[in-house]
Amino acid sequence: MSRHADSPSTTPAFYSADGYKQEESCGYLMKSVMASISHQVDLSDFDAAKAMVTEGVARLGTVHALVNCAGTMPGGPLIDVSKETFDLIFAVNARAPMATMQVAAAHMSEHGGGAIVNIASANAFKNESPEAAYNASKAALVALTKAAAHEWGHLGIRVNSVAPGQTVTPEGAAEIAADPDEARLQREYLRKIPLRRAGTPRDQAMAVLFLASDDAAWITGQTIIVDGGELGGGDWYDRSEAPPLPDEPDGA
């Protein structure tokens, strides 16, 4: 994002990975801004990822914030994960952010610093099967975030990450409602979450905006886990004493 010299507003440039999904937080940001430019690129291509940011800098002038929010999530049992699938997941989820950060950091170091926010996942901190390669790629991104924060802090560059938990878009909610089996699985999943609901794209986007803003001026190398309390752990010894979901009798 580039902040105009004569205005506190920002002009975001959104770049998505060709054939892969954008994390929900960036989708929300795209819908929320008054003006933006967009470009599509295959982030599994290391050189294309770097060229994307170089082009963004050329179009925006001075870039104050970079948000890495594209991701891919092929599932499957670990014993069946192929080399091609593993390489693709790490190329998009970990290597591409490194490529974009390298270009952005070089630019930011010459313009007074900046902020980088990587979209990781709560899965970086837990085992959710069968998604081993995805989980590992997001754990790698968390480690990369901390390394970048340490190496670039003296340049005035802050690097943090947001780790979303269970997040459902309006489109995803419609798909869940149309599939009874998926609706049942989602409903049972909500019982793991103390706040008793799935996250929304806005929940994630607000954490991203905070870390990219001057309000987080003394925060770097950190991961904010936005998951409704799920990773806090714990369960009810007697499940009958567990709080109900909002639409159940006596629910909030």
Q: How far apart are the first and last CA of the chain?
A: 39
Residue 158 C-alpha from the chain's centroid: 16
Residue 218, helix vs strand vs coil: coil
Non-local CB neighbours of 135 within 8 Å, separated by 6+ positions: 121, 123, 124, 126, 127, 128
Q: Where are the beta strands (DSSP E) in the chain?
A: 2-3, 10-11, 13-17, 21-22, 37-41, 65-68, 70-71, 114-119, 157-164, 223-226
Spot the catalytic one: 15, 20, 134, 237: 134
Q: How many CB atoms are located within 10 Å of the residue 102 CB? A: 14
Q: Are strands 223-226 and 70-71 parallel, antiparallel or unpaired?
A: unpaired
Rounded to whole angstroms, the maximal C-alpha distance in the chain is 60
pLDDT score for 239: 80
Taking alpha carbons only, the member of 144, 163, 157, 138 closest to residue 72 is 138
- Break the chain into its structural domains and give their ranges: 2-168+199-237
Q: How far is CA 175 from the centre of its chain?
A: 22
CATH superfamily of the domain spanning 2-168+199-237: NAD(P)-binding Rossmann-like Domain (3.40.50.720)
Closest to 148 measured CA to CA, from 90, 246, 220, 218: 220
pLDDT of res. 252: 53
70 burial via Cβ count (<10 Å: 0-12, 13-18, 19+): buried
Question: What are the pLDDT tens digits along the chain (252 aa)?
Answer: 544 333 334 445 544 444 455 555 555 555 555 456 777 889 999 999 999 999 999 988 899 999 999 899 998 999 999 999 999 999 999 999 999 999 999 999 999 999 999 999 999 999 889 999 999 999 999 999 999 999 999 999 999 999 999 999 999 999 999 999 999 999 999 999 999 999 999 999 999 999 999 999 999 999 999 999 999 987 887 888 888 888 888 765
**What are the Cα distances from residue 15, in Å, to 50, 82, 110, 230, 245?**
12, 28, 23, 30, 37
Order of strands, sheet of 65-68, starting from the edge strand that comes earlier in the sequence = 65-68, 114-119, 157-164, 223-226
Is 134 noted as a catalytic residue in this protein? yes
Selection from 153, 243, 142, 160 nearest residue 197 by Cα: 243
